[in-house]
Amino acid sequence: MVTTSHVSVEPSKLNKCISNPSVNSETENIIEKHKGKMILGGIDLAQRLSGVTLKFLAYENLLDDYPVYQKKVVLIQRCFTTDIRSGDEESTLKSLRKIVSRIKRRFGDGCIDYEEASEGFSMDERVAIWQASDVYVGTAIREGLNLMPLEYVFCRQEKPGVVVTSEFSAACNILNGALRVNPFDVQAAAGVIDVALKMDVNEKAKRMRRDIDFVSERTASQWSKHILKDLKDAVEATETDINTGDHVDASWVSEGEISTLTHINIENVVGAYKATRKRVIICDYGGTLLSKEAASKYLKKDISATSGRVPRKQVMSALRRLCDDPNNTVFVVSGVNRRELENALGDIEGIGLAASNGACFALPAEKGEERDWQAFQFGVDWEKVKSGESNGRGAKAAAKRQQKHYTAFVIEHN
């Protein structure tokens, strides 16, 4: 079982802050300080991955491209450090101070309200900023658990605001009503902030209603209950499969993982195997003999999830035993290229290989024989095709093959 589960805020703690007179007083102070201006709010860790530098560049671009905002908008940005990555934090703060000075020099001191802290900001301080901000802006380059956008949604129930968040953040996948930005495209990010500032109150309310139920109900305790229930369901489902009366699971181990071929009836397969004199056994490679890795693991998508890897010793031993039986014709079919497949399985005597999804193949070779790779020929005159003289009759069969009585076993984890 694979599930996606995200924890949210604690409503009781946030409600306590929202009803706190000192928090409301601080909210009023922030609004009064920037009277007559729309407020963009953000609180971030002062590290490169937080993307605060890109946020400032997008804000600067907004003031450049939309001069109307130069006297009507202010960015409240708070940054804090943890001393865990002191080098990163020091260089990040240095860059931020430089950009803040440039923005103030160009557009005036009132266009940005920037502060740093050596520790994180308390919930009271965060809630005061959220209640005063018309728009929450987050531009993380890479971000996991960050509850601040969710806090903002909860705090703005009475007076809806807009969440602008990075497409590289976890909040992007959680908050359906948020506006998404690529922080590296500062001009497009500025355009999205413009959309958020111009958005009417009805649209803001609709967007926040998409998220308020999840934000309010997925507390830490509820999240824990969901996880425990998922674990319980997974265990019960596994026990049910194992104890099924008329169905026996088949399992194999590949790359340290135990996978189950739930659709195989072992008794039927063994019975068919023993009842026949000649057998053709076709095995899939990636995902069957060899476990696949997630394609998203690789930056270069043209790299196969099986590239450079070979099956485990148990799998190789089983293939050799099948090939040793003269009554078996064993083929492994794969989408990888000829070189990859031959490097992985070419040492097994008597095994047939089909690479590139069957575009090229090598029949089983006897001991000491060199493997002879062939390609399918469909009777097409490619020279005529290239010159535009094709007769259009399509592909023809190369030759009729002699029919023999075989039982075919196709093994593919699907």
Per-residue b or e along 210-234, where b marks 16 or more CB atoms closer than 10 Å to that residue's CB: ebbeebbebbeeeeeeeeeeeeeee
Distance CA 365, CA 374 (A): 13
The whole-number pLDDT of residue 248 equals 41
Question: What confidence tens digit (pLDDT) does each residue in 215-271 have?
Answer: 998 898 888 988 888 888 888 777 654 444 444 445 554 444 455 666 778 888 889
Q: What is the number of alpha carbons within 13 Å of residue 179 lying toward its C-beta?
A: 22
Q: Is the dihedral of CA 11, 12, 14, 19 positive or negative?
A: positive
Sort 62 into a burial class: Cβ within 10 Å, 0-12 / 13-18 / 19+: buried
User: What per-residue confidence (pLDDT) applies to 64?
Assistant: 95
Q: What b-and-e string marks burial along 389-412, b requiring 16 or more CB atoms within 10 Å of the CB?
A: eeeeeeeeeeeeeeeeeeeebebe
pLDDT of residue 376: 75
Shortest CA distance to 41 belongs to which of 96, 10, 88, 79? 79
Pick from 149, 287, 158: nearest CA to 211: 149
Contacts of 191 (CB under 8 A, 6+ apart): 65
pLDDT at 235: 81
**Cα(115)–Cα(370) distance, rounded to whole angstroms?**
73
Q: What is the pLDDT of residue 132?
A: 96
pLDDT digits (tens, 9 = 90+) for 322-358: 999 999 999 999 888 888 888 888 888 899 999 988 8
Give the pLDDT of residue 381: 76
DSSP 209-256: HHHHHHHHH--HHHHHHHHHHHHHHHHHHHHHHHT-SS---EEEEETT
Rounded to 5 degrees, φ, ψ at 353 are -125, 140
Strands 279-284 and 407-411: what pairing? parallel
Contact 354, 334 (CB under 8 A): yes
Positions in the chain short of pLDDT 50: 241-249, 253-257, 295-305, 392-404, 414
pLDDT at 240: 56
φ, ψ of residue 250 to 5 degrees: the values are -110, 135
Distance CA 35, CA 130 (A): 16
DSSP β-ladder status, 279-284 and 135-137: unpaired
Residue bearing tokens 């497409």: 167
- Strand 407-411: give its sheet, edge to edge: 373-375, 360-362, 351-355, 328-333, 279-284, 407-411
Q: What's the Rg (C-alpha) of the chain?
A: 32
- Domains within the chain, CATH numbers bracketed: 11-222 (3.40.50.2000), 246-411 (no CATH)
Q: Given this model, what pLDDT does residue 347 score?
A: 85
